[in-house]
Structure 1
Amino acid sequence: MADKQVIGFIGLGFMGHGMAKNIRQAGYELWIKGRKNRTPIDNLLAMGANEATSPREMAEKCDVIHLCLSTSAQVEATMLGEDGILAGARPGLIVVDASTADPASTERMAKALAEKGGSYVDAPLGGTPVQAEEGTLSAMVGADAAAFDAVLPVIQTWAKTITHVGEVGAGHKMKLLMNFIGLSYGALFSEASVLAAKVGISPAVFREVISPSRMGNGFFETFMAYVVDRDRDSHKFTIENAAKDMGYLNDMATGAGVMNVMAGAARQYYLHAMSTGHDQDYVPHLSDRVAALNGIDLADFAKK
């Protein structure tokens, strides 16, 4: 292991655990920091990982630190806090931000780290927790050429498809565009499923017709696995995170001076679900909220 970089990982949630596991299994010395849930931490410790007490300690020990957090606010706190990464950053440190984040914040963090002699890489993810465990995620990378080359072997431990999108911030911009499409699908599929039920077409028949057509796709399949089969965990991405990402997307569009009617409309569905206490439900569960707004029980229709 002496010839390999020392890797840190902060954020061991649905995606982070699998990514960190694959880094460790590739033979890298690994330092980790989680939150309240000890299960992924203890699992990685059993594999030979080390636990850091703070981001600062991790920065003092590691060559590359991965962040896989929920919001830009969390990323900024991890970077800028009293015991944050910048407090312990050494020249040459590379931070790989795999979160889905606000590109404007990403650029600020990159500038702050550069002042310490380090490099910031945004490498948000495409895929599922299962793919994270398998090491077959996709990564959209924003970085200068030197930083990209330096971290590519590490990213290859957890990603099968890696695209160097452009300079710092480009990866997060691309991820927001991807989520704009996917989360708008979520709103569209919710409306369409509810309308189908309202006019007497069951969710099962709706899926049977759409799935093999040109309108079918992977997102449709996992979405309808909940609508029809009531598989609660078919697409484990929370409504809270969906609303956050659509907020970042809308901010990006505003900054670019782009009219974004569809993105604004889709975001309202997720905000409504959050305001009615469903923030920790998953994206396909939005269909139930749209159904309730229209006075029907979609689960009951799914039985027909």
Structure 2
Amino acid sequence: MTDKPTIGFIGVGLMGHGMAKNILQGGYPLVIKGNRNRVPVESLLGMGATEVQTAREMAQQCDVIHLCLGNSPQIEAMYHGPDGILAGAREGLIVIDCSTADPTSTMKLAAELAEKGGKLVDAPLGRTPKEAEAGTLDAMVGADDSVFECVLPIIQCWAGNINHVGGTGAGHKMKLLMNLIAMSYAALYAEATVLGTKVGISPQTVQKVIGSSRLGNGFFDTFMSYAVDRNRDAHKFTIANASKDVRYANAMAADAGALTLIASATRQYYAHVEAIGHADDYVPFLADHVARMNGVDLEEEVKKGAAGRG
């Protein structure tokens, strides 16, 4: 038996599995909602989690529910309808939304949950499935001070770098800023690497010089791990997800009346790759697409660089 609150988790995929595992290991009773991919579900059930079929059942059984889903329409669908969270919500329920979402939708859902006596915490994630499994994700949390103090021990199970950035909605806004920076970096790294090949600088040289300078960073290293080293699993974040996040950031900018020329340009790259049927490619693959638009075979340029011919 435990006096710890019962935690629910919806979205036990690439990121969610590790997070849910760490909640279990933190001693919390865990309830999960299954999905089509049974591998992570069966893994968590084997560790002691229990399973429900609907979000309504989860809301009836749990004190805190985590959501780790792909976009705002998916999140809204999990709240609404006869089997949704709101149908089972009771006074005191807390929903921690770890997705990257549209802040306008977040605030609407927060108001609907409040009518049921619940609280919404937006705690989107930074980093990768590797850190999810290790329990060292970044979390940017939007919540009232008292609610933040209540959920902090739970978030500490899966996050190593936790920032309370403001009230409800602030977490999703901050996450859009973070991903806008990251996806714009990716577009810039792709452009610069391909431009280098056009003027006689090998991708390996770009990787070495920039990576060892003050311009180097972890995201650059990961991006170039694919662009140069051809590690296809360097950053398992799809173009489709990147495109969605940049669209949300541009919508946020439009709502704020902000001039965001770089954000607009960044969106076009991801929209292009989606439009040509490569939405499931990972973000570093953008380097290949930018290369092809410039009449360059980046993989061949890497081979030339390795042979000392570029």
Write the letter of the residue equivalent to 1:140. M
Corresponding residue number in structure 2 for 1:266: 266
Instruction: Compute the displacement of 1:263 (Å).
Output: 0.3
Structure 1 stretches (4+) deviating beyond 6 angstroms?
none
* In 2: Cα distance, 1:231 partner to 1:34 partner: 31
What does residue range 14-163 of structure 1 map to in structure 2 within 5 Å?
A: 14-163=14-163
> Hey, what's the Cα distance between the residues in 2 that align with 1:266 and 1:105?
23
Contact 2:30 2:50 in 1 (8 A): yes
Deviation at 1:82, TM superposition (A): 2.3
Partners of 1:224 and 1:283 in 2: CA distance? 11
Structure-1 separation of matches of 2:164 and 2:156 = 13
Number of positions where the alignment pairs a residue of Structure 1 with one of Structure 2: 304
- Give the distance between the partners of 1:33 and 1:233, measured in 2 at CA: 27
Aligned equivalents of 1:238, 1:268: Cα separation in 2: 15
Aligned mates of 2:243, 2:13 — CA distance in 1: 18
* Whole-angstrom distance in 2 between the partners of 1:120 and 1:184: 30
Q: Alpha-carbon deviation of 1:81? A: 2.6
Look up the equivalent residue of 2:117 and give its one-letter code.
Answer: G
Residue segments in structure 1 that go unaligned for 5+ positions in a row:
none
When normalised by structure 2's length, the TM-score is 0.97
> Partners in 1 of 2:238 and 2:34 — Cα distance?
19
Measured in 2, the distance between the counterparts of 1:35 and 1:186 equals 31
Please tell me the root mean square deviation across aligned C-alpha atoms, in Å: 0.7
Matches within 5 A, 1:268-287: 268-287=268-287
AA aligned opposite 2:179: N
Residue 240 of structure 2 aligns with which residue? 240
Amino acid in the other structure paired with 2:12: L
1:4-50 Cα deviation digits (max 9, x unpaired)? 00000000121111000000011111011132111100100000001
Runs of at least 5 residues in structure 2 that lack an aligned partner in the other structure: 305-310
Q: Is the 8 A contact 2:34 2:53 kept in 1?
A: no
CA distance in 2, matches of 1:53, 1:128: 28
1:204 matches 2:204: yes
Is 1:3 aligned with 2:16?
Answer: no
Between the aligned partners of 1:93 and 1:9, the Cα distance in structure 2 is 13
Identity across aligned pairs (percent)?
63
> Residue by residue, what CA displacement relative to the aligned partner does 1:177-233 show, whole Å, maximum 9, x if unpaired?
011110000100010111111112111111011101111110000000001111001
Cα offsets for 1:93-144 (capped at 9, x unmatched)? 0000000000000000100000000000000011111000000011100011
CA distance in 1, matches of 2:294, 2:37: 38
Q: Normalised by the size of structure 1, how large is the TM-score?
A: 0.99
